[in-house]
Every structure is written in structure tokens, then in C-alpha cells.
Amino acid sequence: MAADPIGVSTSSSPIAVPVHDQNGFDWGGFYAGIFGGVRNGSVSGSQPTFGIQAGVNAQFDFYLVGAEVAVEGLTGGVGETSYGQLLGRAGLVATDDVVIYAAGGYGIDLGAPAEEDVLLGVGAEMAISDSLSIEAQYLRSVPVGGANASDQFTIGTNFHF
């Protein structure tokens, strides 16, 4: 004796299965942004800082490498000046929308007294939309010319092209 299975229906039409996009944020390409923070120097004291930055990243799987140039204005402390920096970045894409990185580079005081620094630090960046991210970064400057070692903490936002 044969019996049909109970409650089983057969259909010849395909069933559409929803597909979730798991690509996450694309960290590769050009970006530009603004930032603000504070720099605490051994000679200059505590100075608020505001600046602009532009850079480029390349993403290989979950690895990230990039370069960035920034110009900032410093006020307070022992006076007002501007400061330029060139950074290399290397890091890991921790999640679809978060990257953590180490940074190193060169900084120069564009005012008087002339000062050159080696910059070393870390940072994290989080995507908040398809083309916008927020970033937090710490940099330690070690003087090459001059005697004003400093610590800099910044928070900023970047627009990714």
C-alpha cells in the first residue's frame, strides 16, 4: 500500500530567495575631510587644532594601505601657527564598516620657529553611510629639528569618492 506524504506540496515555480549584500564599505579610493582636536606639546603647551586632509587608500581583502596629506592650524599655547603632515597608513578592515590602522610619516611647522617631526600613531575609522566616515586618530611627534615633542588627538570626518 502506498500513501502520499501529508502536508507536502510540490510546485514547479522557482522560489526567490532574498540575497543580502555582504560587501560592506569600500575603503579603496580617494577621500577628503576635515578634523579638529588638541595637540599637547612639551614646549608649546596645549593647543586646539583644526585642519583639512586628503588621501588615497587601497584595500586588498582585509588589508588597507594608504597615504594622506594634511594641513592644520594651531592656536593658543605659545602662539598661532600652521602645520603640515604627510602620513602613510597600514591597517586591517576589522568589520565591514570599521578599519583600524597604524600611521607614520613626516610633519613640519609651517610657521616660526621651523620644526620638523617624525610622526607615529594609530587610528580607527568607521563608515556611517555609503560615502561618509568618522575617524579618531592619535599621533606622537618626535622632533627632528626643534625640541617640541607632542601628542595629538583628533576626530574628523571624511568624504570618500
For CA atoms 159, 154, 28, 98, give the dihedral sign.
Answer: negative
The pLDDT, as a whole number, for residue 28 is: 93
Query: Can you give the pLDDT of all 161 residues of the chain as single tens digits?
Result: 566 556 555 556 666 554 434 567 899 999 999 999 999 988 878 889 999 999 999 999 899 999 999 999 988 766 788 899 999 999 999 998 999 999 999 999 887 767 899 999 999 999 999 999 999 999 999 998 667 889 999 999 999 99
Pairwise CA distance, residues 108 & 74, whole Å:
13
Give residue 129's domain range: 29-152
For residue 87, being part of any structural domain is answered with yes
> In the prediction, which pLDDT does 21 show?
44
Write the CATH number for 85: 2.40.160.20
Distance CA 78, CA 95 (A): 42
Is 95 a member of any domain? yes
- The answer as to whether 20 is a domain residue is no
Residue 17 falls inside a structural domain? no
In a domain, 18, yes or no: no
Q: How many domains does the chain have?
A: 1
Domain contains 122: yes
Domain-embedded: residue 132: yes
60 within a domain of the structure (yes/no): yes
Q: What integer pLDDT is reported at residue 18 of this predicted model?
A: 47
C-beta separation of 117 from 107 below 8 A: yes
How many Å is the maximal CA-CA distance in the chain? 100
